[in-house]
Amino acid sequence: MSYQQEIARWRQQRRQQEANSRLEELRREHSEQIRERDIAIANNDLELAASADDQAQYLENEYRQLVGPQQPQVHPEWTTWMQRNANFIEREGQRGVQAVTDALAYMQRPRNPNSNDPRYTGLGMTPQQIFTRQGLDKLEDLLEIHGSQFYGVRFDKSEQPLTMGDAAKMSNLDQKTYNGYADAYQKAKAAGRVG
């Protein structure tokens, strides 16, 4: 690799790091503006609420400009996680979504040995680490342990529906045998032989 190529790659990495830092700042500032707006509305201070909402919209526009028009790809593990936790999201609504969003932000924020405040430190995980079964288990642990304290939400892993693997394990069967029984049951049900 030539010197010019190394410099070009270094510059690209620097721009990406700056963009990622700004995106994190925008998320934090936006969250603060939304909170300020909601508090102002609750206190019937509509002038302050309008100002905070205008600022939130400005931050949303800047965020869209940085992110660009491309549609983000949804990680398959995330899709599975959302399906398994649909009851939580439906029950808790926006507070649940905010709890998940903030927990994910905490997981991605760098570790800070000079602070124990969760607003200024994190787990230092990359998205590649988070969107694994182990990473999403950590997300569930955070929600279960801290969800009620910080967000007033109740996350309970026992609400998740059983997966085929869980059901096979509980039946003391291997996955292939269990799947064969499940398929046979579905066929019998479709034929009207079982209720």
Same domain (yes/no): 80, 155: yes
Q: Which helix (H) or strand (E) holds 127?
A: helix 127-130
Q: Are residues 24 and 10 in the same domain?
A: yes
Whether residue 42 sits in one domain with residue 99: no
**Residue 76: both structure tokens together:** 């398959």
| SS3 at position 121 | coil
Half-sphere CA count of 17, side-chain side, radius 13 A: 7
Residues 37 and 51 in one domain: yes
pLDDT (average), residues 33-56: 90
**Model confidence over 108-166: pLDDT tens digits?**
988 888 887 777 788 999 988 999 989 999 999 999 999 898 889 999 887 776 666 66
Count of structural domains, the chain: 3
Which of 122-142 are b and which e, b meaning 16 or more Cβ less than 10 Å from the residue's Cβ?
ebebeeeebbeeebbebbbeb
148: Cβ contacts below 8 Å, ≥ 6 apart: 154
pLDDT of res. 193:
80
Same-domain check for residues 152 and 87: yes
Of 57-61, 94-98, 120-124, 169-173, the least confident: 169-173
* Mean per-residue pLDDT, 97-101: 92
What is the domain range of residue 175?
Answer: 162-195
Whether pLDDT at 21 is above 60 = yes
150 lies in the same domain as 167: no
Are 119 and 175 in a shared domain?
Answer: no
Question: Based on C-alpha coordinates, what's the Rg of the chain?
Answer: 23
Say which residue, 70 or 44, is predicted with more confidence.
Answer: 44
